[in-house]
């Protein structure tokens, strides 16, 4: 169970920066070239950075859980 969860998190950590970069570039273009979508772009950028932070922090939580509670 733990190994499969670690492999899923590892795959997400590998893909997350690339996906986040593409999404951030798209949101930045929305912000720069459209007054109509500037507020939407701001919220998208915030969500992108929070999502990447959560994915990066999941490994720490999983390691803490496995060291604390042995299944």
**pLDDT tens digits, residue range 18-60?**
888 999 999 999 889 888 889 999 999 999 989 888 877 877 8
pLDDT above 70: residue 1: no
pLDDT above 90: residue 68: no
For 15-24, the CB contacts below 8 A with 24+ separation are: 16/51, 16/52, 16/55, 16/56, 17/52, 20/48, 20/49, 20/51, 20/52, 23/48, 24/48
């Amino acid at each position: 169970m733990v190994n499969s969860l670690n492999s899923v998190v590892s795959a997400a950590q590998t893909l997350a920066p690339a996906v986040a970069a593409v999404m951030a570039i798209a949101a930045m273009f929305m912000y720069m070239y459209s007054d109509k979508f500037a507020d939407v772009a701001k919220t998208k950028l915030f969500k992108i950075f929070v999502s990447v932070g959560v994915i990066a922090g999941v490994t720490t939580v999983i390691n803490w859980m496995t060291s604390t509670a042995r299944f």
